[in-house]
Amino acid sequence: MSRLPKYIEADDVKRVLKMTDLIPIIEKAMGNFSKGEDGGVVQPARSFIPVKKHAGSFIAMCAYSEKDETLATKLLTRYQENAGTGIPTHMSAIILFEPSTGELKSIMDGDVITSMRTAAASAVATKYLAPENSKILCILGSGDQARSHYKSLHHICNFEEVRVWSPTFKNAQDFSSQLKSKVCETVEEAVRGADVIVTATFAKQPIVEWEWVKPGAHINAVGAVNKKWQELSSELMQKSVVHVDSREAAMKESGDVIISKTEIFAEIGDLVNGTKEAQKEKTTVFKSLGMAMEDAVSAKLVYDKHMENQ
Ligand SMILES: NC(=O)C1=CN([C@@H]2O[C@H](COP(=O)(O)OP(=O)(O)OC[C@H]3O[C@@H](n4cnc5c(N)ncnc54)[C@H](O)[C@@H]3O)[C@@H](O)[C@H]2O)C=CC1
Ligand SMILES: O=C(O)C1=NCCCC1
């Protein structure tokens, strides 16, 4: 093997990474993660460095999976105020190592992986928790995650209607002209009657109320990754059956969990492993925070597929 790491750019990641391959890999990774030591995953809490002067943050996320033979770290910036400037709000690179020797194998774009693996994790949650025959999908937010969730969730349910809401009406219109959907003027209009709801916004205060949510609906809550931020009202969190990707991270990083003082029923990996039962008939929430482990398995998949084509 060459000692020089392979650089894999965003277009090449996009070319080789397919949602149909990724969803089962993320499902297996979530299961391994929730097995504790038996799952062979080492994933320390991630570091957040505030870049206060510029209203940004720098995030470092590392993971090793013995079963998947992958060792990686993602370095990411989150600059919310980039919105509307043409510079993305999240930018990242993933550094992949060879676990057997410690060699640096690859540095690759992390943006496509972040979009797709987050949406794949929600697809796994939706597979276990969405009501049978879900027909209406509601997406709150019209950015990167909103778009990737539109695509991933169509692999799980046969939706007949997709609704989109975004704080800037024009952004929702642009979304809807590219991805078949109906634009809603209010969150309430988008949420009422929906079977599956995605919240993928930068909201810091709750935008979804319990009384709007159809009993038995499933919510993938992807934003509000901060202990002081919420996308869902405390009442909605308390009255729903709440699932997370990592209990440890949720207790540290999720305002939706911490402020509402809600009880976490299970990690999605517990449903995958069959150690907790999915309660499809109840109103369910998947509070997603994102795991380094998801990046590590995705990066290995990208590297292996990319090298096959070399
Ligand atoms: N759980 C996870 O694994 C991940 C979570 N995220 C989080 O998901 C959220 C969406 O990320 P992206 O789509 O990449 O960002 P983006 O910048 O592409 O889109 C953000 C969306 O939020 C909307 N928005 C901004 N301020 C708002 C407010 N006050 N209330 C309601 N909506 C507002 C914008 O109009 C836009 O539609 C962010 O909070 C991000 O940090 C991002 C990556 C992974
Ligand atoms: O990649 C992730 O995981 C992220 N989680 C929280 C917000 C930024 C990206």
Give me the count of residues in the chain. 310
Q: For residue 128, is it within any domain?
A: yes
Count: domains in the chain: 2
Say yes or no: 228 and 257 in one domain. yes
Ligand nearest to the CA of 88: 1
Residue nearest to atom 2 of ligand 2 (CA): 290
| Each residue's pLDDT expressed in tens, for the chain with a length of 310 residues | 557 899 999 999 999 999 999 999 999 999 999 999 999 999 999 999 999 999 999 999 999 999 999 999 999 999 999 999 999 999 999 999 999 999 999 999 999 999 999 999 999 999 999 999 999 999 999 999 999 999 999 999 999 999 999 999 999 999 999 999 999 999 999 999 999 999 999 999 999 999 999 999 999 999 999 999 999 999 999 999 999 999 999 999 999 999 999 999 999 999 999 999 999 999 999 999 999 999 999 999 999 999 998 8
Q: Which atom of ligand 1 is nearest to the CA of 290?
A: 3
Give the pair of three-digit tokens for residue 131: 């009501």
Q: Which atom of ligand 1 is nearest to the CA of 82?
A: 17
Q: Decide: 290 in ligand 2 pocket, CB within 6 A.
A: yes
Answer yes or no: do 137 and 46 share one domain. Answer: no
Is there a domain that residue 57 lies in? yes
301 and 263 within one domain: no
- How do strand 47-51 and strand 56-65 relate by DSSP bridges? antiparallel
ipTM: 0.98
Same domain, 223 and 105: no
Residue 1 lies in a domain: no
**pTM of the predicted model, to two decimals?**
0.98
The answer to whether residue 303 sits within a structural domain is: yes
The CB of 76 under 6 Å from ligand 2? The reply is: yes
81 with 122, same domain: the answer is no
Whether 246 and 259 map to the same domain: the answer is yes
The CB of 288 under 6 Å from ligand 1? The reply is yes
Please report where in the chains the tokens 């809807």 appear, as a residue. 176
Same domain, 299 and 280: no
* CA triple 198-117-167, angle to 5 deg: 35
pLDDT at 207: 98
Residues 6 or more apart whose Cβ sits within 8 Å of residue 38: none
* 219 is a domain residue: yes
Residue 62 lies in a domain: yes
Give the pLDDT score at 2. 56
Atom of ligand 2 nearest to the CA of 290: 3
For residues 296 and 68, the answer to whether their CB atoms sit within 8 Å is yes
Check whether residue 191 and residue 230 sit in a common domain: yes
CATH label of the domain that carries residue 192: 3.40.50.720
User: Which domain range does residue 102 map to?
Assistant: 6-113+293-308
Within 8 A by CB and 6+ apart from 274, the residues are: none
| 158 and 73 together in one domain | no
